Structure formats: structure tokens, C-alpha cells
Structure 1
Amino acid sequence: RGLEVRHYLRGTSTLVLWSKLRYSLCPLFANEILVWYFDITTRYRPRKIIMSDNLVLDGEVREGFILLGKKGVYKVEKFLGEGSFGRVAKCKKLGTDKVVAIKIVSGSAQTEINLLKELSKIDGDKHNLVKMVDCFRYKSYTCIAMELLDQSLYDFMRERYNQPLTVEEIKTIAWQMIVALKGLESINLVHCDIKLDNIMLVDQVSEPFRVKLIDFGVSDKITNMRTGRLMQNMVYRAPEVHLGLPLDQRVDMWSLGYVLCVLYTGTFIHGWDSEYDIIRQSLKTEKSVSDRFDFWSFDQLIPDHLEAAKKREVEQFVDLLKRMLMMDPSKRISPSEALRHPITHLRTPIETPPPLLLTQRSWVCFNSDTDCQVCTQKKKKKLVIVSMKLH
């Protein structure tokens, strides 16, 4: 078991090939490999295998399947999630103790593969970017094997019922993501879809708040960023995307600033408003420090009861948010500038949670699907703080 199929079967006749496979793998997987990877006819395969009820004719990948990659053979253990892009499965590399996450996409996904190959030019661990370990085809699917990570910030926040993080915790995440943006900038790449779902905790138990950026399915080169192109989840979307203005890598900095703001407040500052309302509220915020959103301003993020050192760190963090969320992209802080910001040099931990920004309690869903049935069922059971109208 755990054989390296390509080396093991090189130069083997069809009859011997079937004999080796049927004793190394279960008949179903042996049958799959013969038909789909070696284009071998049914001549040496028993009829009972061809007619087996377990034989999947629709080509869909299922739990327990064996996938033959370029760098190894993988067994699908379970599916971790799915979306419009396809599905992600937890797989074990046979013959080793390695476990990977394989993204199974219908079609070629050649654009994403090319971008992941571009990412391999820089150190994924150093720049906090997910690493691709293998890429191959299975029937009509493209399989992209990547390192297996823990959980997304989206899932992490939902598990804690959207309780805000401390500045110290957010600062750790912010630093790593800014380094990631600087790495992308060095290879002229724009992520285009930074959100809670696409920032993964590596291992929250052994490495608290160690994160990596994932999902480059809609990423693109800076030179290919077309004016008027629609990208990003609406609530994370940069103003220049809403307004149809020229685009570049600074759209990622806006999205990251928004993510940090959500982690600090436990709520979406725009909610699920229309594009018009989002732009209107963003303009209000930037006019002056005294101007407010309908329910809060940046100044209200700074509590008065903190000690001087702790309050200074919160003020520095809020200043970074302001610079990341500038309406004018030309005035928005760059990754290099953000890494030199004072907040990255302050080390005093903040144990006091962020100020409560709300007067009413309601269930907050981080799912982009506003008709989420799970949240509808939980709404009566779990209440968390979401927003507060400050006067």
C-alpha cells in the first residue's frame, strides 16, 4: 500500500497491471485507475467489477476515492466544504503520514494554477501564503493539492459568536496579512478577494493566530486589472470598484482594513447595505474625525477607561484602520508603509476587550448568504452584540 503508481507500474503488461492493482487496492479503485489513467479496455477486468453498484459512473469524486497525482497518490478522507468554485477535501497521501487539502474544481482552473505557480517564486511560509504541493487532473476535474490548514477566520468568529478580538490578537493577524500583501506586490499580483473566509488559521492550538492567505481563484496580475471590473465580496469591496475607477493592488489593502475592523468590532460596519449606502457611509467617515457613520465613528473605537499605554496602542491601531480605509486609493497606506506604522512596534498587550459598540442585541451572520437557514434557526437561541447608535 502507498505505492508510487507511476514508477511501480512502468513497463507492465495489462494483465500483470491488473493483478498488481487488484491486490494493492480495492477492486473499485483499481478499476478507476485502469480506465481513467491508463486508458485500458475492459478485457482483463471481471464483469462483476464493471457492473458493481459501487462504481461511480457520473465521475463525481466521493469519500474513499483514490486520486493519482503527479507527486503521489491521495485518498479522499472527507470533504471540508464546498462553494461555487467546487469542493475542498481532506486527503491523505498514501505511503506517508502527510495530510493535504485538495481543491476539486470542475474544468481546467488553469488561471488559478498559473497564479499558484507564480506564488511558488516566493516563500509561502515567510509571506504567509498557502502553498501548492501538487496539481493534476481527475476525469473532468482539476485537483489542486495544498497544505492543510486549521479553519478560516469566518468559522473562528462564528464559533465564538462574533465576540471581538483584542488589539493584540488583531495586530498579530494584521502584521502577517500585510506581509502577505507585500509578497503579492513583489510579484505584481492582486488577490482580489480578501475576506474572513480566505484568511486561515494555521493551527490555533500550537500557533495561536498564525494565519495564511488562501484562495487565488479570482486573483490577477496588476497589469490585467481592467477599469470597471467587478470583483470582491460587496461588503469588502473597495470604493474604486464600486465607482468603476482604475484598479490596482490597493483594493486588497481596503479589504484587509475592513477585515480588521470586523474583527475588532464584531460586526460589519456597512451591514448588507446597497452599494449606494456603502459609498455614502464611507464618504461620511473620511470627511473628518468628527463625522460619523449612522451608528459609529472611528473615534468611538477608542475607550476612555484604558491606561495610557494601552490607550495609545488602541489609538495607533485605529490610525492604521483610517489609513487602510481611505476613500482615495492614492492616499491609502501601502504594505511597506503599514509595516513601518507605530502599531507594529508596540508590544504592550491589550487584555481589555474592545468597547461595546451596540445598544441592541441580535444574531450576526458572517455568511454572505442573507437567507442562511442555519442562522435563522439559531437567531432565537444565540444573541450577540452587533451595533450601537452613538450620539
Structure 2
Amino acid sequence: MSTAWFSGGSISLNYPTDAISATLSLAAAAGQQDFAGRRKQKGGSRRSRNRRTRTKPGTSPHPQMTFLCDGGVCADDAPEDGRRREDSMEDDEGGQLDYHSGFVLKERYEVVSMLGEGAFGRVMKCLDRRKDEFVAVKILRTFENSYETARLEIAVLEEINSLDDDNKFACVRMLDWFKHKRHVCIVFELLGLSTFEFLRQNDFLPFSVEQIRHMAFRIFRAVSFLHRNKLTHTDLKPENILFVSSDFDLKDDPKTMRVCRKPRSLEVKVVDFGTATFDHQHHQSLVSTRHYRAPEVILDLGWNQSCDVWSLGCVLFEFYFGQTLFPSHDCMEHLAMMQEVLGPIPPHLLKQTGKKHFVQDDRLKWDERSSSGDCVREPRRPLKSIEAESDEEQQLLDLLSCMLEYDTCRRITLEEALWHPFFSPMRAKQSPQS
């Protein structure tokens, strides 16, 4: 799509050599430990400034689980005093496990390098000595309720493994879990870059419509599988959709007259089930990363599986334009941005909101002269005014409109979306029920 959504410059590229692992909220490439600084960057292009720090919401209870403790040993010889070298490994001030290359967890997983880190902990690229293959090991930081947080995620991952025993759906596989000292460790299959990181390294050049079709079909099938099993992901975003392989080819882009990256495989997987919630469980009032948060969550109307549909609509838009749809800083600004793109929020939803300070005379109480008014007033085209350059682009825009409906009763489900005309070429190859 050649139509620009925002104006902005480019971002300098720094190409990593290792792939990113399938884990919670990580888009850092191997060896790029300072990648999180991209969200704090004050200069650069508008595309980089549109990205803000994203906080993880809480999650809901799962059945009780007992942790089994496994120690770790170092690949090197033990110290002369007879203590295992693991005992010299201490946590840093933030509760992260200090490590070194060659350190071995559970007498099996040898640390090779760090893939990335976040508020939850660190993710290590490790060699599974038993199977002689690389894996990603997430080592959770020690903090209050860290065991509970780990227990919740492990319970969901085990349920997904059980429900998808044949690995038909594109959800990351948990291979193992154990406890090292005070740290819970979760072992995942090693995946490639996140779709966000691929966009970043490709100077935020959008994916082609055909690429989006292939990736979206796989993502929709995965999340629809979750929904059929009464599970809502709640934190879908480009950082949590990973390529299985990071391999790419360099191609000339005839539209931009630039050399760009083209992924060799469009196989992707959904990761980060740390806040996934079953239908019968308590629903925390605040879920999703801000930029991908559905209006019913912001308005405190209660939420269900359709909040995932809204998030994926925002994700597909980002794939299509290479830029964040709603780069908001607070709830009022976010709702005002929605109105700029999608039209007024229906009055019946505003009447139901528990956030009464958001509403005045059945309208959003938004002061355009506020400090964040400039962000909202940045040139944004209403979604319905975007002119498609082909029939397939028109189909994609129509699908986005169906996914970005304010009213959850009118918002398309993922089962329905898989039968949208946009996916007709994919259905000819593969049934969405398979």
C-alpha cells in the first residue's frame, strides 16, 4: 500500500546475528540487550516516537500447581571448596539471574547467549544437551508473586499443548519447565524475530498484502483455536507474533525504489500467554498493551474474546502501513484517536461506561486544546476514506473495518473472519477447521 499514514523519517538499522526466542513481550534480537531503549528514544522518526513503553496487565487464577526444584551446574569444573559453581551465581538488584556463557541449568540447558530481557526476566538461548538442539529458556525475575505469575502461564501452556497435541495451530510450544533456585524457568522452542523487530530492521516498510494474507490466516487460526477452547489471549501485538525463521532475502522494492528484506518463510507463531484468561475465570478490568487495547476495556464495559479481534485489527493495520494505528499515551487520547479514524463512539456505549469522567452529554469529553491534543490532531485519515489500489487491498480494508467495530456485538469473530473474501486464496489450500 503506497498511501502513507503518518509522515516520518527512517530508523538506522543494526542487524543481529541470532534469532529472537518465543517468549513474553520480547522483540529484542540476540546480542541487542539495549533494544528496549527504542521505546524511550526521544529523537528519530515519528514511527519510533509512536512506540511507548507497554505495561503487562494482571491475569486470572488457574488450578493449583506444585513446583519441582531442579538445580543447575556450571559446565566448568567446580571450585576447590567443593561448592557447585551455581551457588556463586547471585541475582542482580532487579531480581534478574546473573549468568555467564557455559552455565548449565537443570544439568541439561547450557547457556549460549542472552536473547533479550524485560520486566518479567531474561530469555537465554541455550543448547539442550540431551537433544542437541537450541531452545529458548525464559528465566523469570524474582519479585512478589513471581511464582504465581509463572504458575498461571505454565498452566495455560500445558493446556494448549494438551489441546493441540499434533501442533496444528501456530501457538508456541512449551518444552519443559523447572525451578532454579528462586527462579522459575520455562523452556520454549526457539523461534525467529518478532514481526515488530522484522519491521524495525526493514525500516518499517510494510508487508505486502500477499504476505499479510498468509501471516494473518495462520494467526487467526491460532487465536480462533484458543477462542474455541474458551481462552482469550489478551495481549496480541506484533511483538508477540514471531517468525519461525528469521531468514530473509534482499529484494528491490519497485514502489520505494529501495532494497528491502523479504522473509523466506511466512510461518509465524503466537507467543506470550502470561495474561491469557479462560472464559469462566475472573477477568481483570485492565488487559492488553495500550496501543492494541479495545474500546470496551478502556471504557470499563467488560470484555470477552472479541478484545483479541480488535487487537489483531490493530496488528494487521500496522503490518499494512508499517506504523502504529493508535500511538496513544493515555485513555482519553486513545479514545479521541479512535474517533479520528473510525468515527464517533456510539452513544449507547458511552452511556454504559463506568468512566463517567470520559463523557459529557453522551459524547467523549475530549479537550482538543489539551497537551496531548497535538498527537490526536496529527494527520490521520478515516479508515473508510482510504482508497485501495487493488481488489485484494479493498478486501483487506473491509476486513479491518469489520474487526475495528466499537460494539462487540457487531465486531466480527475470528471464525467468521477466516471466511472473509480476503482469505479465499488461503481457504482453497487449507480448511480453517483443519
Shorter-chain TM-score above 0.5: yes
- In structure 1, give the amino acid aligned to 2:229: I
Aligned pairs (5 A) from 1:106-117: 106=141, 107-108=146-147, 109-117=150-158
TM-score, length-normalised on structure 1?
Answer: 0.70
Deviation at residue 225 of structure 1 after TM alignment: 4.5
CA distance in structure 1 between the partners assigned to 2:230 and 2:307 by the alignment? 13
Q: Is the 8 A contact 2:213 2:423 kept in 1?
A: yes
Name the residue aligned to 1:143: 185
Deviation at residue 260 of structure 1 after TM alignment: 0.5
Aligned pairs (5 A) from 1:18-97: 25-28=75-78, 46-47=80-81, 49-50=82-83, 55-58=88-91, 60-68=98-106, 73-97=108-132
2:327 counterpart (261, 267, 271): 271
CA distance in structure 2 between the partners assigned to 1:171 and 1:283 by the alignment? 27
2:205 counterpart (158, 163, 169): 163
Q: Is the 8 A contact 1:130 1:146 kept in 2?
A: yes
Question: How many aligned positions are there?
Answer: 296
CA distance in structure 2 between the partners assigned to 1:269 and 1:99 by the alignment? 36
Name the residue aligned to 2:265: 208
Deviation at residue 219 of structure 1 after TM alignment: 1.3
The verdict on how the C-alpha distance between 1:126 and 1:299 changes in structure 2, with shifts beyond 3 A counting, is same
Q: Is the 8 A contact 1:281 1:293 kept in 2?
A: no
The verdict on how the C-alpha distance between 1:134 and 1:62 changes in structure 2, with shifts beyond 3 A counting, is same
SS at match of 2:206: coil
Q: Is the 8 A contact 1:204 1:210 kept in 2?
A: no
Name the residue aligned to 2:274: 217
Unaligned segments of structure 1, at least 5 residues = 1-20, 32-45, 348-391
Deviation at residue 102 of structure 1 after TM alignment: 0.6
Deviation at residue 226 of structure 1 after TM alignment: 2.8
Deviation at residue 181 of structure 1 after TM alignment: 1.1
The verdict on how the C-alpha distance between 1:191 and 1:53 changes in structure 2, with shifts beyond 3 A counting, is closer
CA distance in structure 2 between the partners assigned to 1:293 and 1:343 by the alignment? 30
Give identity over the alignment, percent.
32
CA distance in structure 2 between the partners assigned to 1:320 and 1:255 by the alignment? 13
Greater mean deviation of Cα atoms: 92-101 or 315-324: 92-101
Q: Deviations over 1:72-120 (max 9, x none)?
A: x110111100001111111111143211101111332111110111111
CA distance in structure 2 between the partners assigned to 1:212 and 1:52 by the alignment? 37
Deviation at residue 279 of structure 1 after TM alignment: 1.3
SS at match of 1:91: strand
Q: Give 1 or 2 for the bigger CA radius of gyration.
A: 1
Deviation at residue 334 of structure 1 after TM alignment: 0.5
- In structure 2, give the amino acid aligned to 1:297: P
2:423 counterpart (325, 344, 349): 344
Q: Is the 8 A contact 2:125 2:137 kept in 1?
A: yes
Name the residue aligned to 2:58: none
Q: Deviations over 1:349-388 (max 9, x none)?
A: xxxxxxxxxxxxxxxxxxxxxxxxxxxxxxxxxxxxxxxx
CA distance in structure 2 between the partners assigned to 1:250 and 1:51 by the alignment? 51
- In structure 2, give the amino acid aligned to 1:235: H
Q: Deviations over 1:147-185 (max 9, x none)?
A: 000110111011011111111111111111110111111
Name the residue aligned to 2:46: none
Q: Which has the higher helix share?
A: 1
Aligned pairs (5 A) from 1:6-21: none
Residue 118 (structure 1) aligned with residue 151 (structure 2): no
2:195 counterpart (140, 143, 153): 153
2:316 counterpart (234, 246, 260): 260
Q: Is the 8 A contact 2:76 2:102 kept in 1?
A: no
Greater mean deviation of Cα atoms: 81-90 or 267-276: 267-276
User: RMSD of the TM alignment (CA)?
Assistant: 2.7
Name the residue aligned to 1:238: 294
SS at match of 2:409: helix
The verdict on how the C-alpha distance between 1:26 and 1:74 changes in structure 2, with shifts beyond 3 A counting, is same
Deviation at residue 278 of structure 1 after TM alignment: 1.9
Deviation at residue 50 of structure 1 after TM alignment: 4.2
Residue 180 (structure 1) aligned with residue 259 (structure 2): no
1:130 counterpart (172, 191, 194): 172
Q: Deviations over 1:104-137 (max 9, x none)?
A: 1133211111011111123274210000010111
CA distance in structure 2 between the partners assigned to 1:205 and 1:184 by the alignment? 28
Deviation at residue 333 of structure 1 after TM alignment: 0.7
TM-score, length-normalised on structure 2?
Answer: 0.63
SS at match of 2:391: helix
Q: Is the 8 A contact 1:104 1:144 kept in 2?
A: yes
